Every structure is written in structure tokens, then in C-alpha cells.
Amino acid sequence: MDEVYTYSEQDIFSKVLKQWEQAVQDMGHVNLLVTGKTGAGKSTLINAVFRSEDAGTGVGQPVTKSTRCYEDDELPLRIYDTKGLELSANAQSETLCEIQDLIQEKWKKGNQDELIHAIWYCVNSGTNRVEDTELEWIKALCSLGEVGVPVIVIITQAFRKGVANVLRDTIEDAIGGQSWYKGCYVLLAKADEEDPTGHPAFGLEELVKATFQIIPDSAKKAFVNAQGISIDLKVKTAQKYLMGYIGSAAATGASPLPFSDAPLLIANEIAMCTHLTAVFGMKLEKATIIGIATALIGVPAATIAGKSIVSGAIKLIPGVGTVLGAVVSGGTAALITAALGRTYITVLELIARGELKQEDWNTDAFKEKIREMMRSELDKNTTGIG
């Protein structure tokens, strides 16, 4: 007699919620130290790059006399904001020592989640020049020996690109050979309210991609989640993580025991959807979770039925993810997971770009659209087989 495995909506909701919380916890944090003179546009920059407008604002927790740490419950991000660089030489020296001590302290603890992963030094383009003091500051930040932290210089408020480019060349000439210096980027974080067409925002995506490249692998997933600028970066990162789930599905589907793999494959698909959502930085509501289950999990049966890649009869019942009497080969399991993952990443991309709202997930029209996308993905890989 065939065994029947049933996943109710409540089962799926509980599993996804638990795995979502675990995925966010495992993600850790990306920690950035943002510094520069007062008026350099640090807050505007931070709010433009990250998904929360409160990422670098509020009270913050004091870390040293001149540094505060800002955290947002919605983001896997810590911003260390250092102020007062326009003060006297003695005060500047004290602040620099505090920064160095902070970085050293985090490094000595050995916890990857607490390290300062990168430094952004902001220079306001409107000043028309970069002071020698600032250049010395940047050099000092780039010369921390074995505890070196990568430094990116950012020229902000670049309404006049010509002036900003001159500043960039000056910085490159002075700093270019320094250890841990990772380049200078010109940008306008926020469009001019009075002339948004003449002075639109620019340069943020280049900064995000450059930062992603220099931070350690342990912080990349958190950074991709927290940043709200580069959808392409979210997609590419999600595709990378999808490969791991395809491999897991292939291994599970290779089990020689009849029926033993079906529940595990569904669990793998649920975990995959949850973790891909975490990469994109989207919050899961119950309606969204049920939408995932009913629209995606268990859809591909009709497309692949009858093809020789299926070892036995597969019947996946849309709606609650019930699997009846299935013997799934490793190749088939990988194919289904790949199609499901690619379809789901496409859906997340549409949401991130504002072309689809999460409240649409539970509509019949959306579910049918997803089924068609799944069939298309499966047809790409099963054509000519069977």
C-alpha cells in the first residue's frame, strides 16, 4: 500500500517560519565603519544604500567617546559612525586612536560576526578640495597592519561631476599605493529635489558592488540582504545558493528506498524558498508563506509525467504539498528543485523591482502564472527526454 505524506498549511507555515528565523540568525551581520567630516553626507548615503531609512540614524549605542553603533532590527547590519573629524589636531588624533583600538579589539575577539568588515570614508564634493589632514586620515586607516580593514573613499554630493572627478584624481594620486585602499567612488546618493532630472542619483550601484567584493565571505550574505540598491546582486547571490539546494535534492532523490525521499524533497524545497527570500531581504507574512506552498511546491507533475527521467509514477497534489507513492530519481529531484528555484528567484526579483506585490501571491491568477513559469523551466530541461 502506498504511503501518503501530507503537509497541511499550518505545517508549512510552522516549518517556513522556523527556518526563516534560523536563516536570519545564521546570516550574521555586516559591519561598516562610516567616517568623514561633519556634513559629508554620511546619513544620506547610508539611508540611500540600505533597505531601512533608519539604518544610520537614531540614538545609537556609544562605543567610544566619538563613535556610536547603529543597529536596525530589520537589517543584518551594524553601522559604526565616527564624528568630529573637523575638530582640533589633538581631538582628531584621539579619534583615530579610538578607531584603531576598536578595530583591534574586534579582531582580537576572533568573532567574524563582530569584525569591522569595511570602512567608508566620505568626502563632500562641495568643498572643492580634500584637505591634507583628511588624506593623512585615510592613509592611517589603510595602514593598520595585520588588522587591516579595506577602505573605500566616497565622494558624496557630486552635483558637479567635473569637480568630483578632480577630487577623486587627487585622492588616487595621494592614496593609490596604500595597503587596504580599495578605490574612490563618485556618487550622488539622493536626487536634487528641485532638479531631479538634471541631477539624478548615481554611483550607488557601483559602490554596493565594490563593497561586496572587498568584504569577507562571511559577511556577504548579510550585506546582500541589507542593501536595497542592486537587485542584480541579490539575484546572482540567490542563484549561487540555489546550486547547493539542487545538489541536496539530487542526493536525496538518489535514495534507493521507495517513498523515503518524498517528504525530504518537500522539506528541501521549503527550506530553499525560505533562504532565497532571506537573501533578498523580504519579510514573510503568513499569506505569503501559504502562497509559496500552494503556488510552487508540487506544481511540476503534469509537465514531467510520462518522461523516462521519472523513476516510477509521480503525483504531486497542488494545494497542500501532498505526495502519493513517489519514487523520485536523483536527476528528477535536481531538475524539479532547479526549476522551482529559478522560478522563485524570478518572482522575488519582480517583487524587488516593484512589478509584483506580495499580497498578489495568494490569488488564483498568480498561482496559474507561476505554474506556467514552472512548466516553462521544466520544459527547457526535459525537452527531448523520454
174 and 301 both lie in a single domain: no
Of the pLDDT bands very low, low, confident and very high (cuts 50, 70, 90), residue 382 is: low
Region at 243 (left for phi over 0; alpha for psi -120 to 50; beta for the rest):
alpha
Residue 205 is assigned to a structural domain of this protein? yes
Residue entry with cell 525537452: 383
Q: What is the mean pLDDT of the chain?
A: 78
DSSP string, 167-220: HHHHHHHHHTTSTTEEEEEE-BSS--SS-TTTS--BSHHHHHHHHHHHS-HHHH
> For the chain, what is the domain count?
2
Q: If pLDDT is split at 50, 70 and 90, which confidence band does 118 have?
A: very high
Q: Are residues 214 and 234 in the same domain?
A: no
Residue-wise pLDDT tens digits, 303-336: 333 333 333 333 333 333 334 334 456 667 778 7
Answer yes or no: do 220 and 298 share one domain. no
Looking at 206, 226, 246, the residue that finishes a domain is 226
* pLDDT at residue 187 greater than cutoff 90: yes
Note whether 237 and 213 are same-domain residues: no
Secondary structure percentages of the chain, helix, strand, coil, to 5: 50, 15, 35
* Least confident segment among 5-14, 130-139, 179-188, 349-358: 5-14
Residue 338 belongs to some domain of the structure = yes
Residue 93's contacts (CB-CB under 8 Å, 6 or more residues apart) are none
166 Cβ contact partners less than 8 Å away, ≥ 6 residues apart = none
Same-domain pairing of 288 and 308: yes
Choose one of 226, 248, 274: the last residue of a domain. Answer: 226
**306 and 322 share one domain:** yes
Contact 29, 77 (CB under 8 A): yes
- Asked if residue 210 belongs to a domain, the reply is yes
In this prediction, residue 235 carries a pLDDT of 96
As given in the structure block, the three cell numbers for residue 383 are 525537452
Residue 227's pLDDT is 95
The string of pLDDT tens digits covering residues 84-106 is 676 667 777 788 888 888 999 99
Same domain, 255 and 199: no
CB-CB neighbours of 202 under 10 Å = 14
- CB-based contact 156:41 (threshold 8 Å): yes
- Is residue 162 one of the residues assigned to a domain? yes
| Whether residue 330 sits in one domain with residue 242 | yes
Q: Are residues 254 and 241 in the same domain?
A: yes
CATH number, domain at 44? 3.40.50.300
End residue of a domain, out of 226, 258, 287: 226
In a domain, 2, yes or no: no
| pLDDT value of residue 151 | 96
Q: What is the reported pLDDT for 4?
A: 38
Mean pLDDT for 16-23 is 76
Identify the band that residue 166 occupies on the pLDDT scale cut at 50, 70 and 90: very high
Least confident range from 275-284, 309-318, 356-365: namely 309-318
What Cα–Cα distance (Å) separates residue 243 from each residue in 84, 220, 246, 339, 342?
46, 17, 5, 11, 10
Residue labelled with grid coordinates 522575488: 348
Q: How many CB atoms lie within 10 A of CB 44?
A: 16
* 288: its cell numbers: 505569503
Within-domain flag for 114: yes
Q: Residue 206 pLDDT > 90, yes or no?
A: yes
pLDDT digits (tens, 9 = 90+) for 215-265: 999 999 999 999 999 999 999 999 998 988 888 766 665 554 343 444 445
pLDDT at position 49 over 80: yes
Owning domain of residue 293: 230-382
Nearest-10 Cα torsion for 16, 17, 20, 26: -120
**Are 111 and 203 in a shared domain?**
yes
Asked whether residue 291 is domain-assigned, the answer is: yes
pLDDT at 184: 96
Tell me if 332 is assigned to some domain: yes
Give yes or no: residues 181 and 99 share one domain. yes
Same domain, 274 and 215: no
